[in-house]
Amino acid sequence: MKINKLEPQKALNPAYKKFKPSRADIDGFSAKLQDCINAINLVDSRNESEEHLKSPISKFLSSTFYSENEINTKERIDLAIYLGKDATSDVGVLIEAKKPSNRTEFPTEKQLNKKAFQEMLLYYLRERVDYKNNNIKHLIITNGFEWFFFNASDFYNLFYKNSELIKEYKAFRDGLKDTIKNELFYNEIAKKYIEKVEDTLPFVYLDFRNKEVSKFKDKELVNIYKLFSDVHLLGKSFGNDSNQLNKAFYNELLHIIGLEEVKESGKKIIQRKKNKEADYGPLLENAIFTLEDKDYLIKVKNIPNSEEKSFTVGLELCLTWVNRILFLKLLESQLRSYNNDSPEYKFLNSEFIPGFDALNEMFFSALAKPIKERHQRYAEKFKYIPYLNSSLFEKSELEDLTFDITALMDEEMEVFSSTVLKNSNGKKQTGKLNTLEYLFKFLDAYDFSADASVEINDKQQNKTLINASVLGLIFEKINGYKDGSFYTPGTITMFMCKETLRKSVVQKFKEEITETIETFEDVIDYCNTFFKKEDRKKFNEVVNSIRICDPAVGSGHFLVSALNEMIVIKSELGILGDEDGKKLPCTIEIDNDEIYISDADGELFSYNRKDPQSLKIQKAIFHEKETLIENCLFGVDINPNSVNICRLRLWIELLKNAYYTDEGELQTLPNIDINIKCGNSLISKFKLNDSLKSAFKSKEITFSVEDYKQAVKDYKTTNSKTKKREIEDIISTIKNNLKSSLDNKEKEKVSKALGEYQNEEQRQNNLIAFGETIKKAEKDKLKKLKIKAEQAKKQKEEILNNAIYRHAFEWRFEFPEVLDDDGNFTGFDVIIGNPPYIQLQKMGTASDALQTLGYETFARTGDIYSLFYELGYNVLKEKGLLTFITSNKWMRAAYGESLRKFFADKTNPEILIDFGGTQIFDTATVDTNILMFSRDKNRQQTLACTIKEKMLNNLSDYFRQFAVKSNFISSGSWIILNDVEQNIKTKIETIGTPLKDWNIKINYGIKTGYNEAFIIDGIKRKELIEEDPKSAEIIRPILRGRDIKRYGYDFADIWIINTHNGIKEKNIKRVEIDDYPAVKKYLNQFYLQLEKRTDKGDTPYNLRNCAYITDFSNQKIVWGEISDRTKFSIELDGKYMNEATTFLMVGDNLLYLVSYLNSKLSEYFFSKIGTTTGVGTVRWKKFTIEQLYVPKVSIALLEQFEKITLEIIEYIKNDKNYSVLSDQIDKLIYKIFNFSEEEIEFIEIQ
């Protein structure tokens, strides 16, 4: 029969295939595996029971990879590897063991459907269905000699998703069959369902019966080692994980540059390293000294003069140099792997590059010049250094204004205290090293190699691998030094690109090939029905026409992930071909944010310059990447360092597949820098619908739209520096003329408006001169024309003079690839990224300027990412897709109302994933979500899910499994609910009344404007009262958020000096400070700060106006804004609350309301509508509290709630446990809403 047996290497994750275990690790593993097999042999020879098999297998597993995992039985399961250290954690691997002599029940390669497999299916369903364990990774059936490995995702797809099987299993489990014996399940249920999928279920089979472990070849041993590893079986990360920062590399690189990472206001930022004494060794200190000593800063006009100017300029220079050096380290590793590790290609060392002068010569006299054009002085020295044709090795504008790396002094610097470097004795290096020598030695201590051909690392020193993705993470962090960067994990960028780009491909094929296409599988099937080269070429052109843009591109992470996904899409469609148009004989997949190419046997591809077939594949992938980068990928960022780093990352992606030409030279890199531009994405002088027709027909512009497009195309492909500069001049001329033409149109608009006003004014003056009366309608018309003229003039002056337009980005014409033949802006197919998160109210004047630009989603209390959503929508083409990961606050916060309305009214939200309190960014406490929408009519069919734990490694599977269809059609809070939750919500909203419609008032605590003066402790209160007893009248007790508990509080002896400002409407006079001399004397020490307050009362001593000051003396419900659970208390003693952390509620039925607010239902429902802090706590804000639905109950029931609440308060006073009373309240509430048992159980679990 047909089987789906996989070779071990085909089952392994591609990134892990590349991992090289050490010889010692392989030898140790092999010995322990052989010990296990020997022990099994002994058990078998003695004919002992199956129970005796478990011990050697368990011992083998725990002594190799699973010392930190519980390995034990679970109920009837023979063995299980748990995800944690004890059996309270989920099971990750299920193991079914049989005696070697029990051939009847044990599967064979050609017949899986035996009792052992049927038992395994039963145990899997119990875990998956009954225990709701979605963390199972693998399943193993073994007799100690033979091992069958199954991936749990295949069991999920073939068994768990089979509704008929699940239905039959549940009927058997619940005793609805004629027997509850397992044999019924094996013979009448499992057997028939296994039979249906037996030929398609993938598995790996190992057999150690006829061969000792030591007799296997290295390649086989490595695959066996990896197959048993926790990386494979449990999905644990390993050293080459692009989602994890290599802190040792990162921190030492910062040290060499002259930077350090510190924590400030809860986030990590990078700053200039503080040294106890002058140290000019670090690159940054060296650069800053040179800038200041030689007065270079005067020449830099585009960076404002400030204390930070030298740091900003110095850092940009250093990053330029470090970027080049890191790129060269990757190049060096690549060349060495292509050339059998020949020493001629090891050039980043102090012997070859003894100083900054020599390094500069390599930059500009070798790498920047074709080999044949190099000066004879350098020809011999740099003969092994290729020409790259990259603007990375052209002087930057800043270097032209200031200096290149030759201006740095030849200094020494202290070696990092936690350095990776070792001295000749193998101890940690100490002391000082020449800076450049230090940098070279530091880089050489890591492995940048792309070589996949070596199976075992036989070197004594096992270097840590640093790949391009890890470098990308480091670039992103260094680049975000001001605000603390949020590096998006590779699993997130991969998921977002996969979901978005596959939908975009479907849309493209639907538009350009056939309307019958509905899914990506349809596209695969369609492409597979064609086999001619011209068909593949046509399909490639369709994919290549997709335009993708990241408007806040940062280090380019999303564009790199998009590039990888586009390559894989082409591979899956079967349209990847070589230069002759023949299909490539390989499979390509993404793992760990990298693409991996495998041959038909599952072996990783490694370029061999002497193998023609290898060259064809390498060449094809290089040019595919080149085509996609040139045609499909675009980015914008306001930070020039980001732009340079993004370009660098794209060059690195090309470098990975660089190849030698027939002339023996490395293929040059294209000029891809033109697709990544510097500017403020949110600000443009010109509108997207401004016509360019007249501009291209004007006398000033002698070029057509087609000429503009061709110039950009020529720029990307030219290898000549001279030709490149000529094309740059042409492009610059076209853009300047377009700007002038559009500026002239603006001037004409102002002139026209002014002319219309002046003409009408003159006409009316003439009528008056002849004694005629001007009608009211005519006067109104003149007023309107005057306002229109003034507004046009003001708008034009703002555009010309406002500093914010200094970095304006003109989407209208910067990317000719999204202009049609008439120059109309058509838009991008995909907008994707992780826009910045900055509160608009913290942006000062920049926020004021953004407010004038007409963004519908602007909210003063909101965040800048809202504007990026709107910007993204604006630059999308019709039915184009936008996918962002941002803070999830917009889903429920008040400031998100305009954004929610925008999404509901103007877009079709397709995917929404709320990560809730699950932290995605390691260095930032931000709760996030992913939203994908199309620029289309809202279909009200959003696939949405909430992720409550870190499921990043199988995000696609999790989303497919748990996504529910949701209907988001309003500006109200967007809440993701499953079927049970939908039922609960419906009942709550049907029976309950929103709290905002009750007779209650909610207010903040009291605001002082300067707590350091007005908030005092009990000791200071006592002193003031002893000095003047009258002081007691205005010193009131205060509660902070942390003091408030459920139904009670812990008073911390904190007090407020309540020098209130009175309430005129209630005839309450303000506190006269002269009546309280002791208090005035105390406050006088803070007088300057009190006077500076913007929210003071009539005098600096008085608090700001507070219209609800009397509410503090009344019965009230109080709570802190930030809490991990419901903590509402009744306050009866006239205590005040601190504004920053607390709220108070006054009104009717407070005893009932406090019991409802503290209930499990309230806590559950608030978790759905409330916002979170990012550190596991919830914000109990007024806006969301008012959205809670509370049922209005009968007087009898009201009295029952009040009675229980008062009892709880008494219990708390007597320090008694009141959980039974809380349960009574919960049960009463469940009864009011008529919740089912399932609904109650769901709420209780939450």
**Two structure tokens written together for 1130:** 């009744």
Collapsed DSSP state (helix, strand, coil) of residue 246: coil
Q: Is 809 in contact with 679 (CB distance < 8 Å)?
A: yes
Could you give the CA distance from residue 1127 to residue 1162 in angstroms, rounded to a whole number?
11
Q: What are the backbone dihedrals phi and psi of residue 1041, each rounded to the nearest 5 degrees, phi first? A: -55, -40
List all residues 6 or more positions away from 910 whose beta carbon is below 8 Å from its beta carbon.
Answer: 503, 881, 932, 933, 934, 942, 943
Written as one letter, the residue type at 1202 is E
Q: Which of 417-426, 696-705, 926-935 reaches the highest mean pLDDT?
A: 926-935
* Least confidently predicted of 666-680, 696-710, 903-917: 696-710
* Least confidently predicted of 756-760, 1211-1215, 1241-1245: 756-760
Question: Smallest Cα–Cα separation from 1192: which of 1162, 1226, 1233, 1164?
Answer: 1233
Q: Is 287 in contact with 259 (CB distance < 8 Å)?
A: no
pLDDT single digits (tens) 282-332: 999 999 999 999 999 888 887 777 778 899 999 999 999 998 999 899 999
Give the residue, 460 or 665, on which the prediction is more confident: 665
Could you give the CA distance from residue 290 to residue 284 in angstroms, rounded to a whole number?
10
Q: Is 646 in contact with 391 (CB distance < 8 Å)?
A: no
Could you give the CA distance from residue 2 to residue 199 in angstroms, rounded to a whole number?
5
Q: Is 881 in contact with 932 (CB distance < 8 Å)?
A: yes
pLDDT single digits (tens) 796-836: 665 555 555 678 888 988 898 998 888 889 999 999 999 98
- Distance of alpha carbon 321 from its chain centroid, rounded? 28
1014 φψ region: left (φ > 0), alpha (ψ -120 to 50), beta (else) = alpha
**Torsion from C-alpha of 148, 120, 196, 10, nearest 10 degrees:** -30
Q: ∠ CA(485), CA(491), CA(496), 5° rounding? A: 90
The per-residue pLDDT for 451 is 56
Q: What is the mean pLDDT of residues 524-533?
A: 90
Domains of the chain, start order: 5-233 (no CATH), 247-479 (no CATH), 490-678 (no CATH), 693-813 (no CATH), 835-976 (3.40.50.150), 977-999+1148-1246 (no CATH), 1002-1147 (no CATH)
The per-residue pLDDT for 1187 is 84
Could you give the CA distance from residue 1141 to residue 1144 in angstroms, rounded to a whole number?
11
Could you give the CA distance from residue 319 to residue 405 in angstroms, rounded to a whole number?
11
pLDDT single digits (tens) 267-292: 677 888 887 677 889 999 999 999 99
List all residues 6 or more positions away from 1114 whose beta carbon is below 8 Å from its beta carbon.
Answer: 1146
Q: What are the backbone dihedrals phi and psi of residue 80, each rounded to the nearest 5 degrees, phi first? A: -140, 140
Is pTM, for the whole model, over 0.75? Answer: yes
Q: What is the mean pLDDT of residues 874-881?
A: 97
Q: What is the mean pLDDT of residues 884-908?
A: 92
Chain length of the chain: 1246
List all residues 6 or more positions away from 132 whose beta carbon is below 8 Å from its beta carbon.
Answer: none
**Two structure tokens written together for 929:** 């979500």
The per-residue pLDDT for 96 is 94
Tell me which residue has tokens 């206001």: 265
**DSSP H or E segment with residue 726:** helix 721-769
Q: Is 926 in contact with 887 (CB distance < 8 Å)?
A: yes
- Burial annotation 8-33 (CB, 10 A radius, 16+ → b, else e): bbbbbbbbbbbbbbeeebbeebbebb
Q: What is the mean pLDDT of residues 1-6?
A: 79
Q: Is the pLDDT of residue 513 over 90?
A: yes
Q: Is the pLDDT of residue 602 over 90?
A: no
Q: Is 607 in contact with 614 (CB distance < 8 Å)?
A: yes
Collapsed DSSP state (helix, strand, coil) of residue 633: strand
**H-only helix segments in 1182-1218:** 1182-1185, 1195-1213
Question: Which pairs with CB-CB distance under 8 Å and at least 24 residues apart come from 733-738?
Answer: 733/703, 734/701, 734/703, 734/707, 734/708, 735/810, 735/813, 735/814, 737/695, 737/698, 737/700, 737/701, 738/692, 738/695, 738/701, 738/812, 738/813
Residue 1187, classified by CB atoms within 10 Å of its CB into exposed (0-12), middle (13-18) or buried (19+), is middle
Q: Is the pLDDT of residue 978 over 90?
A: no
User: DSSP assignment, residue 158?
Assistant: I
Q: Which of 120-134, 699-713, 739-753 reaches the highest mean pLDDT?
A: 120-134
Q: Is the pLDDT of residue 230 over 50?
A: yes
Alpha-carbon separation of residue 980 from 946, 986, 1242, 1243 (angstroms): 14, 10, 8, 10
- Burial annotation 350-360 (CB, 10 A radius, 16+ → b, else e): bebbeebebbb
Could you give the CA distance from residue 62 to residue 58 in angstroms, rounded to a whole number?
6
Give the residue, 1109 or 682, on which the prediction is more confident: 682
pLDDT single digits (tens) 470-498: 777 777 777 665 554 567 888 899 999 99
The per-residue pLDDT for 484 is 47
Radius of gyration (Cα) for the chain, nearest Å? 35
Q: Is 603 in contact with 617 (CB distance < 8 Å)?
A: no
The per-residue pLDDT for 457 is 66
Sign of the dihedral through C-alpha 1023, 1026, 1030, 1033 = positive
- Distance of alpha carbon 396 from its chain centroid, rounded? 30
Tell me which residue has tokens 């290096």: 429
